[in-house]
Amino acid sequence: MSSKIFYERVYKFNDDYDLVSETLFELGFSNFYTLENDEGVFLILVSDKPKKIIEIEQKLPFNIEFVEQRETSSEEWVKNIISKPFEFIDGVYIDPDHHDIDADIVIKIIPGLAFGTGLHATTKLAGEMLKKYLKPGMKVLDLGCGSGILSILAKKLGASKVVGVDNDKIAVEVANENIELNKISDVEIKESDLLKNVKGKFDLIVSNIIAEILIEALKKMPEYLEDGGIVILSGIIDSKLDLFKNLNIIEHRRSGEWNSLVIKF
């Protein structure tokens, strides 16, 4: 993967980790990790531009105490988040390195500056639903692909073709690197604001983005679905679940405050 300089801003914080992670998710910021040592608990936000971190910092509704700003590389900060393989969902492991793992499916992920390490509840819920609903041979669209984790899973579960899109250039870059790392074919990753740059029809669309954006995407989704096609939505926080109540919901799963829905039109 390309080695670039990134910046970390380190803060001391005393709030509940779930609140911090949920707030950053809602702000669309996923490049962070925490560290605990004798001096306390620290939150570290990472970006290629310190200005972006400062903008996020100013929106945080809880108290954090700035400690320092330091330079890092994409490899380094990702290692701080995940260094050991872990079971992402039943029978599927994420391996950030090159371990010998005895499992049905192993996904290599170097997430870089893109959401999708496999540690977040919203990704796990989407992964579980994919495992249940994806049948071999299906064409799959991963809307908001981030690191490409769900695109890779879809392909490894037997999809015939996967298209992953994201409106973040860095996510597209990182996802392409992860696709290469997993040595899989018939997966196309491209930049697109929701469905604007997507062509063709799919048997299954999976999308893990915040509720308001999912609602926007749902307006156009039927045009991109084959007859009887399935949509897996994730990233819906409890307080926004009502926005989805009029849909034809086939299955609903919950983890902490996060919800995932499988729907059909």
Ligand X SMILES: C[S@@+](CC[C@H](N)C(=O)[O-])C[C@H]1O[C@@H](n2cnc3c(N)ncnc32)[C@H](O)[C@@H]1O
Query: Which residues form the interface with ligand X (CB under 6 A)?
Result: 114-116, 122-123, 126, 144-146, 149-150, 165-168, 171, 193-194, 208-209, 213, 235
In the numeric block, which tokens belong to residue 208? 């893990």
Query: Measured from the CB atom, is 42 or 140 closer to ligand X?
Result: 140
CB of 148 to ligand X, least distance (A): 8
Query: Measured from the CB atom, is 46 or 209 closer to ligand X?
Result: 209
CB of 193 to ligand X, least distance (A): 5
Query: Measured from the CB atom, is 95 or 166 closer to ligand X?
Result: 166
CB of 147 to ligand X, least distance (A): 6
CB of 12 to ligand X, least distance (A): 26
CB of 243 to ligand X, least distance (A): 16
Query: Measured from the CB atom, is 166 or 203 closer to ligand X?
Result: 166
Query: Measured from the CB atom, is 141 or 145 closer to ligand X?
Result: 145
